Structure 1
Amino acid sequence: MEVDNNSQGIRYEAISGFFIQSDPSTDPQPHPPAFGLKSRTSATYWEDFEARIQKLQQSAPGNVRYVVCWLARHGQGWRVDRYGPIAWENKWSKQNGDGEITWGPDAKLTPLGETQAKAVNEIWKKELSRPGDPIPVPTRLFSSPLTRALATLDLTFKGVLPKDESTGDPVRSPLVIENLREELSPYTSDHRSSKTDIQKAYPGFLFEDSFTEEDQLWSEFVSESTEDFTSRLKATLDHIFKDLLGEKDTCECIISSSVEV
């Protein structure tokens, strides 16, 4: 992604040509080889990929930087479709469950959702194990505060992140960002867990200082407008690129909903 920080604000542009997902005519499989990297004929295709990014950065103006962004949607979360969209919208989305399935508050991953995240984990491990040419691992990890996103990130990078030799703990702790979440709705599945519960479930994750104990954004009565959601997401991305990414951070991962991705 090209990040242009100019006098009018920050402008973002996805750079095509690196991954098959950037080709409008391509309908890639859920888990394409090497995450869809196009140039894979060389024995050092990840090294070549990094060299191309570095070359772009070296020739860029001072206000422009290039960052490799791994954007991922969370795995499948619990939600009931058997009642149809009208019944879901008018009744069931306001409930925590139907006696058989629980989806609120803060819907968890289904078994399929866990399998989806583990499949991505296998690709990371495969590409990381390439002799002399490991995939560049993100230097920063950011997640939505919703459990389905947190669990997806945790499963995706299990055994992938470098560890501290003395403690065995990952040296790159994910940061949970309150505003890095999907369009707000009165659905109980979108009502996040308390900070305490998240910390207990994911003790290795970090939080911004402004992260509150209870969910202050969710409302059981009000849905967020598309305009407000777009504005919130833009402000959150600006915060990440202006305040959270260091000069040496050239590769990051963001896990949230399909709308944001």
Structure 2
Amino acid sequence: MKGVALGVLCCLLALACGLGRAGEAGGEGRALALAARQAYGTGDFAAAAEAFARAHAVAPNLASAAVCLDAALAARLAGQPGRAAFWLRRAVLAAPGDPETTAALAAAGFDAGDVFAGPWFLSGWLPARSLWLTALWANACFWLSLAAGRLFGRPVPRPAALAAGLAVTLLWLAVGWAGLVGEWWPRAVVLGEVPAASAPEDGAEPLGRFAVGELVAVGGERSGRLLVRAPDGRAGWIPREAAAVLRP
């Protein structure tokens, strides 16, 4: 019984701490998103695009598909096609399989499937925030069910408890993967046509160019430059500000 009570307590503490941190970042993010919409309403698309970018940096989990599509339109009207491509791909991460976001990405000439290429497919079945909340509530239900069974003298059958425990564990593993995949296999969108170099130092041999809106894997950062690789194998160092990293 003590173990069940400890599990319930840990679950409630995790829920309270998680919601507290999300609420703090979310307040600032919502304020920036509101400022972005106000700027968009007045026709100041450049300011709107900048505010949307800042809101995403502060609270990436608040970037719903609708917000991402609004930000993509603001960026396009501000003459920032690379940033618009970034927001369209971020919309797919926010709502995997959503027909509207997939159609918007296709209309811009991009493939929705490439957003989840490689390691991304493991976390592509549900948005990261929804996955986290699902795991929290599943964990709470699991421990509360065990506690209620003990309290009323009708314990949960062992096979059912083991199956539920395994399901909750798998959910938490998926949450961990969704949180770490962006750190282990970061991906970015090229914001403008940019030349690539063979090394991060000035004067390095040029290797070609990356196009606006290209999705690339990030292999490292040094001296203010990113080592990026395209799906077709092209690789090179580009300026850090020339790409926007996708955050699930």
TM-score, normalised via structure 2 length: 0.33
Higher helix fraction: Structure 1 or Structure 2? 2
Larger Rg: 2
Asked which structure has the greater RCO (Cα within 8 Å, sep 6+), the reply is 1
What TM-score do the two structures reach when normalised by structure 1? Answer: 0.32
